[in-house]
Amino acid sequence: MQQIFNFVIRNKTFLLFLLLFSIALALTIQSHSYHRSKFINSANGITGGVYGTVNSVDQYFDLKDENQILAEENRLLREKILNLENKSDSSFIDTSYAKEKYKVFTAEVYKNSYSLSDNYLTINKGEKDGLVEDFGVITSNGIIGIIDNTSNGYATVLSILNRKSRINAKLKSTNHIGSLKWNGKSPEFTQLIDVSKFAPVKVGDTIVTGGQSSIFPQGIGIGTIDSFETDISGDTYNINVKLFNDMTNIGTVYILQNLDAEEIKTLQNSIDE
């Protein structure tokens, strides 16, 4: 017994080092292998407070750009409204049966990273605004990611620039689907894999969300095809997609809540069983 105590006291530095290093290593492995990084994340009061203070100064520097983005989006929406009004003149649409499918929130980006191999954003809305995990996050240009962790006032977003991210996507012109992931290299490009070799893939074609998941509605823009090659197996295409969004410059985002998500999930779970 005495010897054990002596051993512990003699090697206390090494043992403490080993303990701390294993904790850190466990957290690292946990963050690499599971979808959610549960313990250490930036959705909390301390980090949110610091990033909020910085953001309140920082946002003045790109007010002009933000205004331009908003004006452009307003123009698009106005165009759509005008076209809708013209259409509805000719035929009467009974809207009382139409049900809302998506609820939209806005949020400001407090922290955005794109230079790591697993990137997350922090936004200034959280559980008290009704956000929970697995809501989709987009801008007026295209998709950003999926809500990952939430705290009371803040949430982290698993960016599409994250090697853990998998998003269902398809070619806009046809219905050939694939899965969007990132190889960890350039923040301008992501990769669409598992696209059937029968798909008519052309450089410059648009890629949009596929609507097979309950997170994003169908047809939200992702990017255009920059280059493509057949997989080693020869059965599928691997497509390099140039993103519509400049992921290095994101100010305001929209969060989409699919109001049917619960229903779809229970239905799918009942199939699994």
Which residues of the shown chain bind other proteins in the complex (CB under 8 A)?
12-14, 16-17, 20-21, 23-32, 37, 40-42, 44, 46-47, 50-51, 54, 111, 113-120, 122, 156, 184, 186-187, 248
**C-alpha to C-alpha distance for 80 and 41, rounded to whole angstroms:** 40
Q: Which two tokens stand for residue 96?
A: 């009382």
The nearer residue to other proteins, 130 or 184, going by C-beta atoms, is 184
The nearer residue to other proteins, 29 or 259, going by C-beta atoms, is 29
253 within 8 A of 109, measured Cβ to Cβ:
yes
Q: How far is CA 187 from the centre of its chain?
A: 13
260 within 8 A of 130, measured Cβ to Cβ:
no
**C-alpha to C-alpha distance for 146 and 165, rounded to whole angstroms:** 8
Q: How does strand 155-162 pair with strand 136-138?
A: unpaired
Q: How far is the CB of 217 from other proteins (least distance, A)?
A: 27
The nearer residue to other proteins, 47 or 196, going by C-beta atoms, is 47
Q: How far is the CB of 23 from other proteins (least distance, A)?
A: 7
Q: How far is the CB of 263 from other proteins (least distance, A)?
A: 32
157 within 8 A of 145, measured Cβ to Cβ:
yes
Q: How far is the CB of 25 from other proteins (least distance, A)?
A: 6
The nearer residue to other proteins, 119 or 141, going by C-beta atoms, is 119
Q: How far is the CB of 20 from other proteins (least distance, A)?
A: 5
At residue 258, the 3 state secondary structure works out as strand
Q: How far is the CB of 261 from other proteins (least distance, A)?
A: 24
The nearer residue to other proteins, 144 or 195, going by C-beta atoms, is 144
Residue 192: exposure state from Cβ atoms within 10 A (0-12, 13-18, ≥19): buried
249 within 8 A of 64, measured Cβ to Cβ:
no
The nearer residue to other proteins, 30 or 140, going by C-beta atoms, is 30
